[in-house]
């Protein structure tokens, strides 16, 4: 049976959030964003081995946070790089199991639910990869040379994480030289020649990017607590 891994990328500095401490360490309902994220994977039935990519200068800060919150789950620590691409690559290099399925997930998507994680591992086992994505709720227009044209909304997906791949796909993909068209792992794997498979995501699986996203995440979590889930 193949082993599951999850690379949680937390190597960013959160420039759009604008806080002194990067957004992955900010508190949402009393717990750092990154702890919510790690717990979602830890509590999933897929039970992946966790690899956490953290900025070099924040390893000690994270250790202190773990002590404060008595946070003791097992994971392997990797050092994040200058770009998300480099952070994924550094974490991936710690995996040697060629039969594994590997999820890559943004640390700053703390509202991912464990059932969706499991469904994505299941689909990746069948099709080679599974990319969590949602249909656009808004109408879509594309602007080119000053002219905008409507696009078919049902053909447009907004891509989230986790994005789960067979080992061999990530291996070949991350041998490529970095390009700034690589905005996620699906774009890297696609450029390496693999077909990409989507799985329906969750509109609550937001990425914490701007200050208002913290308040939105807190409201969603409160709603889940009130609903008992």
Ligand X SMILES: C[C@](O)(CO)[C@H](O)COP(=O)(O)O
Ligand Y SMILES: Nc1ccn([C@@H]2O[C@H](COP(=O)(O)OP(=O)(O)OP(=O)(O)O)[C@@H](O)[C@H]2O)c(=O)n1
State the residues that interact with ligand Y by CB under 6 A. 9-16, 22, 24, 53, 80-84, 87, 106-108, 207, 209
How many alpha carbons fall within 13 Å on the CB side of residue 161? Answer: 26
**160 touching ligand X, by CB under 6 A:** yes
Least distance in angstroms from the C-beta of 14 to ligand Y? 4
Residues in the chain: 229
Backbone phi, psi, residue 225, to 5°: -65, -45
**184 touching ligand X, by CB under 6 A:** yes
Binding residues among 105-124 for ligand X as defined by CB under 6 A? 106
Determine the interface stretch with ligand X among 58-66, 88-96, 110-118, 156-164 (rule: CB under 6 A). Answer: 156-164
- For residue 222, CA distances in Å to 14, 62, 211, 213 come to 24, 25, 18, 14
Backbone phi, psi, residue 64, to 5°: -65, -40
Least distance in angstroms from the C-beta of 168 to ligand X? 21
Could you say which of ligand X, ligand Y, none residue 14 binds, taking C-beta under 5 to 8 angstroms by partner kind?
ligand Y
Binding mask 195-214 for ligand X (x = CB under 6 A): ------------x-x-----
The pairing of strands 4-9 and 101-106 is parallel
Helix (H, G, I), strand (E, B) or coil at 36: helix
- Residue 49 parent element (H or E): strand 49-54
Helix (H, G, I), strand (E, B) or coil at 40: helix
Q: Considering only residues 84, 88, 90, 116, which one is a binding residue for ligand X as defined by CB under 6 A? A: 84
Give the nearer residue to ligand Y in terms of CB position, either 128 or 205: 205
What does the binding site for ligand X look like in residue numbers (CB under 6 A)? 84, 106, 159-161, 183-184, 207, 209
């Amino acid at each position: 049976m193949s082993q599951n891994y999850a690379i949680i990328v937390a190597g960013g500095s959160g420039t759009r959030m604008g806080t002194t401490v990067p957004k992955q360490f900010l508190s949402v309902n009393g717990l750092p964003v990154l702890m919510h994220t790690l717990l979602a994977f830890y509590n999933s039935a897929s039970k992946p081995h966790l690899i956490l990519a953290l900025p070099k200068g924040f390893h000690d800060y994270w250790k202190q946070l773990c002590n404060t919150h008595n946070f003791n789950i097992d994971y392997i620590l990797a050092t994040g790089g200058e770009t998300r691409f480099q952070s994924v690559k550094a974490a991936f290099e710690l995996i040697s199991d060629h039969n594994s399925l590997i999820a890559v997930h943004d640390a700053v998507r703390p509202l991912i639910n464990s059932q969706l994680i499991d469904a994505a591992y299941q689909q990746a086992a069948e099709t080679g990869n599974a990319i969590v994505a949602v249909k656009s709720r808004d109408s879509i227009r594309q602007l080119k040379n000053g002219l905008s044209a409507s696009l078919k909304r049902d053909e447009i997906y907004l891509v989230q994480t986790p994005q789960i791949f067979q080992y061999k796909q990530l291996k070949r993909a991350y041998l490529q030289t970095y390009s700034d068209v690589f905005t996620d792992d699906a774009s890297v794997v696609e450029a390496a020649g693999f077909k990409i498979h989507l799985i329906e995501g969750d509109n609550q699986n937001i990425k914490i990017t701007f200050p208002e996203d913290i308040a939105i995440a807190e409201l969603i979590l409160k709603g889940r607590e009130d609903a008992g889930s």
